[in-house]
């Protein structure tokens, strides 16, 4: 993880590769079906966003996906889930190989999600925030019929405003609490986190989704943190004023999204817990992974339909996940992990 600063505050390294894959190819990487591979890890909330957006937009045939295992060492994520420990398309064992292929002296974080140019084997971008927006806007020619508008032009300013607060205080806020180097830094992050969650609860008490009456990019970004809250952040990161299940509005909102095709079917609770509890040995020295919480509560009724709203607007739900991309039932809310 990124280091803490002199005040003990966690500072995320945000020096991402800013190259974009665009419809007009202005950065040298034009949108082309089959040319690129999205590399993710189901454990990672930032990568989970890209998995969800790719599913919602129906880009599976245009943009293949490689899935790293839930743990990694100081070098990078690895393809240990694949036969022989190599990605079957890229032919590499570690994601860092794609980064070094383009930047031999690369000295920043090897992060997911990342998009790799298959012909050259070189990483194009790991700018997670831009990746999902570009999947909505630049890859439109390859969207499925009925794909939702996740970043509609008339709502972008509001979506951006909501996303800014959610990133600072919630998405990154849980990390600022978990990796705080001083009590003061922890207290500050903790206070900001729950103040923002209270604000979001108030906002969502009268509307089904964060912006407008359909699912947008804003909901995707908040959901991936909420999905990990009780399993990881409440205990592991000391974000323990309340569990998600003890925040009625946010818990119902999160269950509503979880039960929406494209959201809950991307969540792998086993990978999530293994990543945080096994990799963060500074916080959990023995690497013991907790058995709970029971995920079946995610499938209980939420009642959010009473607020109206249309999940996909004028569009339709995505098809079920591809067989090769389906989360095992024992890793999901379908049954308690053994």
Residue written as token pair 């909501």: 162
- Of 150, 206, 187, 195, give the one whose Cα is nearest residue 168: 195
**b or e along 84-99 (b: 16 or more beta carbons within 10 Å of the residue's beta carbon)?**
eebbeebebbbbbbbb
- Tokens representing 187 are 């207290």
Omega cis (within 30) before 251? no
Residue written as token pair 């969207």: 143
Three-class SS string for 266-291? HCCHHHHHHHHHHHCCCCCCCCCCCC
- Of 279, 261, 277, give the one whose Cα is nearest residue 327: 261
Residue 337's CB: how many other CB atoms inside 10 A? 17
**Active-site residue list:** 44, 175
Q: H or E stretch including 37? A: strand 36-41
- Of 128, 113, 130, give the one whose Cα is nearest residue 77: 113
Residue written as token pair 């090897």: 110
Taking the alpha carbons at both ends of the chain, their separation in whole angstroms is: 29
Residue 220's CB: how many other CB atoms inside 10 A? 24
């Amino acid at each position: 993880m990124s280091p803490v600063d002199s005040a003990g505050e966690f500072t995320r390294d945000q020096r991402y590769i800013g190259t974009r894959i665009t419809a007009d190819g202005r950065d040298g990487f034009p949108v082309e079906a089959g040319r690129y591979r999205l590399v993710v890890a189901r454990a990672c909330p930032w990568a989970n966003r890209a998995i969800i957006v790719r599913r919602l937009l129906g880009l599976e045939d245009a943009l293949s996906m490689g899935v790293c295992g839930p743990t990694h060492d100081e070098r990078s994520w690895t393809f240990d889930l694949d036969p022989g420990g190599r990605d079957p398309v890229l032919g590499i064992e570690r994601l860092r190989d794609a980064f070094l292929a383009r930047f031999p002296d690369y000295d920043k974080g090897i992060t997911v999600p990342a998009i790799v140019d298959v012909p050259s084997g070189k990483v194009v971008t790991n700018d997670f925030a831009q990746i999902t927006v570009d999947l909505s806007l630049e890859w439109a020619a390859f969207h499925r019929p009925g794909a939702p508008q996740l970043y509609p032009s008339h709502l972008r300013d509001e979506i951006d405003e909501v996303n800014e607060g959610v990133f600072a205080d919630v998405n990154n806020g849980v990390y600022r609490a978990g990796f705080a180097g001083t009590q003061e830094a922890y207290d500050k992050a903790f206070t900001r986190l729950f103040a923002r969650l209270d604000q979001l609860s108030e906002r969502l008490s009268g509307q089904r989704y964060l912006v407008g009456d359909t699912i947008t990019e804003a909901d995707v970004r908040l959901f991936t943190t909420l999905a990990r809250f009780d399993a990881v952040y409440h205990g592991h990161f000391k974000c323990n004023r309340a569990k998600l299940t003890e925040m009625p509005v946010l818990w119902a909102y999160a269950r509503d999204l979880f039960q929406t095709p494209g959201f809950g079917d991307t969540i792998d609770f086993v990978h999530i817990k293994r990543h945080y509890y096994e990799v963060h040995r500074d916080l959990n020295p023995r690497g013991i992974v907790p058995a709970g919480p029971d995920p079946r509560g995610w499938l209980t009724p939420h009642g959010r339909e009473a607020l109206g709203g249309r999940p996909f607007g004028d569009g339709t739900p995505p098809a079920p996940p591809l067989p090769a991309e389906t989360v095992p039932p024992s890793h999901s809310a379908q049954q308690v992990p053994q």
